[in-house]
Chain A
Amino acid sequence: MSIESTPGVLGIYSHMDTLIDAIKHFKSRGRDDIKVHSPCPHHDLDHALDEPVSPVRRFTLLGGLTGCSFGYLFTSFGSLEWILPTSGKPIVSPVAFTVVAFELTILFGALFTLLGIVLNAKLFTKRKTLYDDRFTDDKFGIFIPCTRSEYEAMTKELTDHGAEEVKHA
């Protein structure tokens, strides 16, 4: 089990429809800080959570543009640094260099996307909230950050909205 340092209450659910009803309830109460666990992503959950579009796309765009520019500049620089005349072809040949630029667009796009996922999804960081091993199997969960004095009220609220088990730190 992980290190828990964020105080809060974790409700565990077996059914997607109950979970979605609970999410809608907490969202209607203005709780945008809830953390929902599910064995796999699902469109119904996305709709219920109504989160903004991930900024990972900006990383991909930036990576692609960087790779493309680097591809053309690097090949042109290398060709001008060491002149290799072949069959009267231009030393700086943009059409031939497009192949390298294309490959580097994809490569840098992928590397920046990876960076975008790692930074935004906060991979490589220790989990600070309560967790249950069954979330990767067949259970769902809602973690609600709250102070210790609110534990009892939150536990009741989660149970009233379908949670089968409730844990707190």
Chain B
Amino acid sequence: MDVKQHEINFRYDEITKDILRTLEKPGLPYWIMIALIMGGLAFGIVAWMYQIKEGMGVAGLNHPVGWGVYITDFVFWVGIGHAGTLISAILFLFRAKWRNAIFRSAEAMTIFAVLTAALFPLIHVGRVWVAWWLIPYPNQRELWVNFRSPLLWDVFAINTYFSVSAIFFCIGLIPDVAAIRDKARGMRKTIYTFMSLGFDNSNHQWRHYMAGYGFFAALATPLVLSVHSVVSWDFAVSIVPGWHSTLFAPYFVAGAVFSGMAMVMTILIPFRSIFKLEKYLTTWHFDMMSRLVMLTGSIVTYSYLTEYFIAWYSDDPFEMFIFYERAFGKYQLPFMLMFGCNCVIPLLLWFRGIRTNLKALWVITIFVNIGMWFERFNIIVSSLAQEFDPYSWGWYVPSWVEMGITLGSFCWFFMWFFLFIKFFPSLALTEMKEIADPPHSGKGHSAHGKEAA
């Protein structure tokens, strides 16, 4: 069924009631999920504590592969964090109305994904207690960091991205928190009154709020494009074969949006069903998101093919060798998983029947996430394992500690999301009202809400 804009046009009070219902006391399935998540997180924490105590030797990292699963996880999670700001900022500027129902969850996902990504440089450096040396500040050692290093650009890019996304997210929440405040009683009212910062939905406040919101969107748009570009330069600015490419920035950004949109759908499909939000999150929304996945998936596939073409066209033996080895060498399995999940399986989305079949869509998005994780692994590990000199080649296999920390990172991400959906509206109340017809008296105007359409 094709659901269009006019079919998600509801009365204001109906929107408030339906969306605030998601904040009610959770049932048993919620607590079971929380227990599983906390168990996985505890395992990840134990694995990290073990690494801190024993040293980096417990990870599979060794010469020549000094970057492995931790950096793979870092790049993967930064990528996951891209869809939220794309939806909330870029689609806001384009006035795409289908964003209104999904942007809040996607934005929350961005914050939690960047929070997760930010853990990995700390885990990867090993001696986490001196990680603050990365921060440039006047110190007693009279040292300054190297501002020409892409690793330091990353420090600025990730911190800026997290800060701006968090501010954008919190600003967007204010009117909705005010709505919860006005419905709440007792201690909840006190807490939400504090968090609503005195917002009273008056024209004086809306005027400045909307102006500022537009500027946040305008600032966040180039930021989305810059963050994964800067992450890609961690690799592209080096001379390592398979990394040294001007293609990396757009290739990484497209991959980030591809994986981020897939993760949004992976989360929203069960969420919609659990909270009975089918009338707000319609097949139309998922069709639109699938089209973005198709677009970015096509860019990613094109980038893979271009990499191979340029490797051949460059006539550089090291470059040609690395790309041959990726497809036919020791790391063939990650390559096949990457190519199959990112290039072949998403082709199913060209069929409209699949784009509107949410069960099929959910399975496809999980494959895309697996494929994108292996894409990062493939880029990072295969290039380092077989650099220029065969004497220094070496193979990398992740240890249980790295896999435990990776599992813990997924649980950390979902822990924040599960807490979020019980304390804040996961659909934006105010923005759902903005796309609904306002109530009219009927004197020369149409009725309010869906009946108006």
- A134:B182 contact, CB within 8 angstroms: yes
Give the distance in Å from the alpha carbon of A40 to the alpha carbon of B233 in the complex. Answer: 42
For A83, give the chain B residue with the smallest CB separation.
B144
Interface majority SS (helix, strand, loop, mixed), chain A:
helix
Q: Does A110 contact B (CB under 8 A)?
A: yes
**Cβ-neighbour of B207 out of A42, A51, A79, A138 (below 8 A):** A51
What residues of A have a CB within 8 angstroms of the CB of B211 in the complex?
53-54, 56-57
Q: Which of B148, B152, B174, B207 has the most CB of A within 10 A?
A: B148
1-43 of chain A: CB within 8 A of chain B: 2, 14-18, 35-42
Please tell me the number of chain A residues within 8 Å of chain B, measured between CB atoms. 69
Contact call A123/B148, Cβ cutoff below 8 A: no
Partner of A138, one of B13, B145, B431, B444: B13
CB neighbours (8 Å) of B205 from chain A are 121-123
Q: In the complex, what residues of A have CB within 8 A of residue B212's CB?
A: 54, 56, 60, 113-114, 116-117
| B203 CB within 8 Å of chain A | yes
Which single residue of chain B is at the shortest CB-CB distance from A76? B147
Which among A54, A74, A136 has the greatest number of chain B C-beta atoms within 10 A? Answer: A136
- Chain A CB within 8 A of B198 CB: yes
Report the separation of the CA atoms of residues A53 and B201 in the bound assembly, to the nearest whole angstrom: 18
Judge whether B215 and A123 touch: CB under 8 Å: no
Residues of A with Cβ closer than 8 Å to B?
A: 2, 14-18, 35-42, 44-46, 49, 51, 53-54, 56-57, 60, 64, 74-75, 78-79, 81-82, 84, 86, 89, 93, 96-97, 99-100, 102-104, 106-107, 109-111, 113-114, 116-118, 120-127, 131, 133-138, 143, 162
By a beta-carbon cutoff of 8 Å, the part of chain B in contact with chain A is 11-13, 16, 136, 142-148, 150, 152-153, 156-157, 159-160, 163-164, 167-168, 171, 174-175, 178-179, 181-183, 197-212, 215-216, 219-220, 222-223, 226, 230, 233, 430-431, 433-434, 438-441, 443-445
14 further A-B contacts with Cβ under 8 Å, apart from A57-B215, A136-B182, A137-B13, are: A38-B201, A41-B209, A45-B203, A64-B219, A99-B156, A99-B157, A100-B147, A103-B226, A106-B160, A114-B212, A123-B197, A135-B200, A137-B12, A143-B202
